[in-house]
């Protein structure tokens, strides 16, 4: 069986607060799907599943207490009665959810005619993800056109007793949760469950072929074999491995310096910054963030401190422009612009993957940086 990779609660380097909301990085083995669904070939599309008994986990809890709805009028129990429902918990800056999105989007399209209802429950991680216009813009940019229940108060999250992004819950035509899945991977098994539940409600024309996915940008699956850097938050509530000399001063401005050398997964600041609970904020231009990492992809969740003031930046890898290793949000010389609060892909490097030193220098003041993620 393949490994289950996940990010648990992490001790806080500045204090001892714990945080129980987790981004789940799971990827399950294809052999699990083969065992549970009797597939004759787990490497291709010509699979022959046999029906399995999916237990009833519990009844579907109410989704009517959403903050608001996007792409749909508010859905009620009557609206989804007799239909197969897929609940997808997400938050728009989560790279782990983004890598599942091509599959959820494809299932929503393919099985809609058979009666599948996909509902994305957007439960925010960062405060700016509570902004409805941010969610609306992200949904449009990411082509999330199925119904979205905005869950700013964690009402639906808590009703499901959910603790992960992403998380899928599979509901049958009787309103019973029949299965759940946390994290990335296991897409074949998930689609077979959808197919089986549709058959149970008598949906005709359910195709046995699996969806074909051609992901691009941030939606491309992680290079797990080369990934040695975990997600790291930059605000003092949950950060680790901060290496600027003298440590951090919380909630107050300070001029930081880089250490002479960083170890793998350590990070540091240079310039005039304020280290806050959820983020770090740059007070003067030419501030830098440096991290030593080992991964194909490097992402940074960030945004301008003032919504109407874009912030210019330049990234370097091992002290030079990224050239062929640049991500979609920078050019080959490493230049880019922070224009909105979101996840930015800064590095996608070709093989061989090795320990590298990443640096981002902000040419203007007024940027908030929240978290590094990798792939």
Residue owning tokens 């393949």:
2
Using CA atoms, how far residue 67 sits from 154, 169, 260, in Å, is: 9, 20, 48
SS3 call for 120: strand
- Whether the CB-CB separation of 95 and 373 falls below 8 Å is answered with yes
Going from the C-alpha of 196 to that of each of 49, 51, 234, 247, 370, the distances in angstroms are 9, 7, 43, 55, 41
Q: Give the residues of the chain that fall short of pLDDT 50.
A: 1-22, 27-49
Residue 298 to residue 241: CA distance in whole angstroms: 17
The model's pTM:
0.86
- Rounded distance, CA 361 to CA 288, Å? 4
The domain 224-374 belongs to what CATH superfamily? Galactose-binding domain-like (2.60.120.260)
Q: Which of 118, 138, 130 lies closest to 67 in space, CA to CA? A: 130
Q: Where in the chain is the domain with CATH 2.60.120.260?
A: 224-374
What integer pLDDT is reported at residue 207 of this predicted model? 64
Burial of residue 18 (number of CB atoms within 10 Å: 0-12, 13-18, 19+): exposed
Q: How many CB atoms lie within 10 A of CB 8?
A: 7
**In the beta sheet, which residues pair with residue 372?**
232, 300
> Are 209 and 45 spatial neighbours (Cβ–Cβ below 8 Å)?
yes
Angle at 104 between CA 142 and CA 207, to 5 degrees: 135
Is the peptide bond between 30 and the residue preceding it cis, with omega within 30 degrees of 0? no
Confidence (pLDDT) at 139: 98
- Check residue 318 and report its DSSP letter: T
Give me the architecture of the 22-219 domain, per CATH. 3-Layer(aba) Sandwich (3.40)
CATH 3.40.30.10 positions along the chain are 22-219
**pLDDT at residue 203, rounded to an integer:** 81
Query: Nearest-CA neighbor of 358 among 278, 303, 300?
Result: 300
**Do residues 123 and 156 make contact, with C-beta atoms less than 8 angstroms apart?**
yes
């Amino acid at each position: 069986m393949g490994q289950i990779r996940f990010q648990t609660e992490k001790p806080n380097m500045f204090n001892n607060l714990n945080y129980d909301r987790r981004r789940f990085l799971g990827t399950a083995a294809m052999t699990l799907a083969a065992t549970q669904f009797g597939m004759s070939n787990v490497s291709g599309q010509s699979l022959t599943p046999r029906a399995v008994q999916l237990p009833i986990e519990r009844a579907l809890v109410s989704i009517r207490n959403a903050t608001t709805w996007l792409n749909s009028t508010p859905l009620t129990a009557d609206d989804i009665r007799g239909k197969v429902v897929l609940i997808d918990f997400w938050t728009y800056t989560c790279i782990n959810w983004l890598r599942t999105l091509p599959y959820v989007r494809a299932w929503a399209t393919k099985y809609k005619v058979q009666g599948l209802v996909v509902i994305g429950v957007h439960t925010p991680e960062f405060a700016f993800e509570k902004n409805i216009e941010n969610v609306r813009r992200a949904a449009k940019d990411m082509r999330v056109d199925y119904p979205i229940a905005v869950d700013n108060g964690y009402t639906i999250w808590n009703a499901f007793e959910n603790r992960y992004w992403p998380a899928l819950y599979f509901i049958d035509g009787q309103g019973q949760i029949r299965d759940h899945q946390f994290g990335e991977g296991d897409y074949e098994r998930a689609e077979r469950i959808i197919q089986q539940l549709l058959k149970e409600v008598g949906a005709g024309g359910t195709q046995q072929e699996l969806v074909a996915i051609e992901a691009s940008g941030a939606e491309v699956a992680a290079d797990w074999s080369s990934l040695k850097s975990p997600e790291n938050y930059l605000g003092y509530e949950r950060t680790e491995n901060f290496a600027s000399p003298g440590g951090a001063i919380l909630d107050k401005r300070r001029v930081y310096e880089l250490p002479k050398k960083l170890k793998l997964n350590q990070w540091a600041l240079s310039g005039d910054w304020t280290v806050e609970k959820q983020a770090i904020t740059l007070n003067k231009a030419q501030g830098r963030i440096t991290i030593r990492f080992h991964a194909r992809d490097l992402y940074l969740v960030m945004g301008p401190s003032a919504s109407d003031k874009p912030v210019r930046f330049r990234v370097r890898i091992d002290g030079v422009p990224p050239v062929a290793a640049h991500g979609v949000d920078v050019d080959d010389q490493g230049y880019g612009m922070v224009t909105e609060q979101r996840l930015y892909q800064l590095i996608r490097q070709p093989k061989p993957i090795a320990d590298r030193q990443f640096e981002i220098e902000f040419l203007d003041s007024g940027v908030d940086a929240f978290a590094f993620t990798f792939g």
